[in-house]
Amino acid sequence: MSFLSETLARVKPSPTIAVTTKAQELKAAGLDVIGLGAGEPDFDTPENIKAAAVRAIETGKTKYTAVDGIIELKQAICAKLKRDNGLDYDPKQVSVSSGGKQVLYNALKATCNPGDEVIIPAPYWVSYPDMVLLAGGTPVAVEGTLANNFKITADQLEAAITPKTKWLIFNSPSNPTGAGYSHDELKALTDVLLRHPHVWVMTDDMYEHLAFDGFEFCTPAQVEPKLYDRTLTVNGVSKAYAMTGWRIGYAAGPVELINAMRKVQSQSTSNPCSISQYAAVEALNGPQDYLAVNNETFVRRRNLVVSMLNDIDGVTCPTPEGAFYVYPDIAGCIGKTSKAGTVITNDEDFATALLEETGVAVVFGAAFGLSPNFRVSYATSDEALLEACTRIQTFCAALT
Ligand SMILES: Cc1ncc(COP(=O)(O)O)c(C=O)c1O
């Protein structure tokens, strides 16, 4: 019998790690590798935020804080939720953790019993299903289609709900597709949830501010106020403020749930980094004008990548509304053979051959629960994107 727990045995190692490790090995061996795998902005954290952190250090804000966040940050979060989302929350309804990832994990850990089902639209952020498994629940994937820009429909949601369903995890704009649900599309889903009062919604709004071409971000409790009492609204500073390393995420929801999440955190990590919390106060309360400036850069890069990928025979790449990812469909490349002789039987073969033969690192679609696709993160320089897409074009042109 294994020394390791049965729960852990149900969890897969991160499929993205294999790609990253392989890319590092090839780079170390001298190959010119272009990484399009990273899920973080390439911009530096803004100066005003860094200055707030320095001030926190200099004024001794370096001790334990309240387990789930300082009051100043909870107030800043409430002000943000009001300002951006029209949602009223009290600091007692807010929990701050070491990244959005810990927020989601705490919530699942605090609520899932064996047999509880959690509906996860696919393609999904790699961590959702495994977090559900770690928390003892059962992930239920519902596949979006290319024809619907990878979004799920109300009928699909309705069909997936059972008496055991506990949560719907909702993520818009999405990692890995960048797809965003319009107000009407989300309303169709919240209408379904209204008919099933035992189902709660955990909305991961991490890419809220990365929304393009006039796309209007919306979140479930705003679209359907009747769901307020069974919605956990999750967000963070990692992506919008280029603060992935600072590790601050947060959630707002019913007090009983927030208290339960605090209990999980109090017996595991305690408070998130004190200095990062003061930096996050500045991120949320300070100037927001660079968000629009960053988005101009992201739109330019998105357009470059989408158009270069769509020029390839066998590749179809929808234009996403937000985030910094695209998720091209490569059905037309499956079954072919690469120049170096690799038979491409699935998207993992495609990504491996692409990396080995051209040095371009992407993450294959199976990792996100929908194939055959791959994910490109375009949070890297225009020059690198141009070169990478040119290599992808050459690689695909040589498939026979
Ligand atoms: C959809 C989504 N949710 C949550 C997270 C986690 O963010 P954080 O770095 O704040 O833990 C990520 C990070 O990649 C993400 O893509």
Per-residue pLDDT tens digits for 80-108: 999 999 999 999 999 999 999 999 999 99
Which ligand 1 atom lies nearest to the CA of residue 101? 11
pLDDT band of residue 9 (cuts 50, 70, 90) is confident
Over range 328-353, report the average pLDDT.
97
pLDDT at 42 over 70: yes
pLDDT the model gives residue 175: 97
pLDDT at 8 over 90: no
Over range 190-199, report the average pLDDT.
98
Pocket perturbation via mutation, ligand 1, pick of 126, 150, 175 by most ligand atoms within 8 A of CB: 175
Select 63-285's CATH number: 3.40.50.2300, 3.40.50.2020, 3.40.50.1700, 3.40.640.10. Answer: 3.40.640.10
CA distance linking residue 362 with residue 16, whole number of Å: 9
pLDDT at 62 over 90: yes
User: Does the beta carbon of 375 sit less than 6 angstroms from any atom of ligand 1?
Assistant: no
Which ligand 1 atom lies nearest to the CA of residue 102? 11
- Say if residues 251 and 95 touch (Cβ distance below 8 Å): yes
- Tens digit of each residue's pLDDT (9 = 90 or more) over 211-232: 999 999 999 999 999 999 999 9
Q: Nearest Cα to 222, choosing from 176, 267, 274, 172?
A: 172
Which ligand 1 atom lies nearest to the CA of residue 125? 1
- Tens digit of each residue's pLDDT (9 = 90 or more) over 244-298: 999 999 999 999 999 999 999 999 999 999 999 999 999 999 999 999 999 999 9
pLDDT at 19 over 80: no
User: Does the beta carbon of 244 sit less than 6 angstroms from any atom of ligand 1?
Assistant: yes
pLDDT at 313 over 90: yes
Token pair recorded at residue 295: 């988005």
Give the DSSP letter of residue 353: H
pLDDT the model gives residue 23: 85
pLDDT the model gives residue 1: 67
- Tens digit of each residue's pLDDT (9 = 90 or more) over 117-176: 999 999 999 999 999 999 999 999 999 999 999 999 999 999 999 999 999 999 999 999
Helical residues (DSSP H) of 311-370, grouped into ranges: 347-358
Q: Which fold has domain 6-44+290-397?
A: Aspartate Aminotransferase, domain 1 (3.90.1150)
Which ligand 1 atom lies nearest to the CA of residue 104? 4
Token pair recorded at residue 228: 């307020």
Could you give the strand order of the β-sheet that contains 249-252, starting from the edge strand earlier in sequence?
A: 94-97, 249-252, 231-236, 200-204, 165-171, 117-122, 138-143
Question: 237 CA to middle of ligand 1, Å?
Answer: 10
Q: Nearest Cα to 134, choosing from 162, 107, 97, 169?
A: 107
Mean pLDDT over each residue of the chain, to the nearest integer? 96
CA distance linking residue 107 with residue 183, whole number of Å: 25
What is the residue extent of each domain of the chain?
6-44+290-397, 63-285
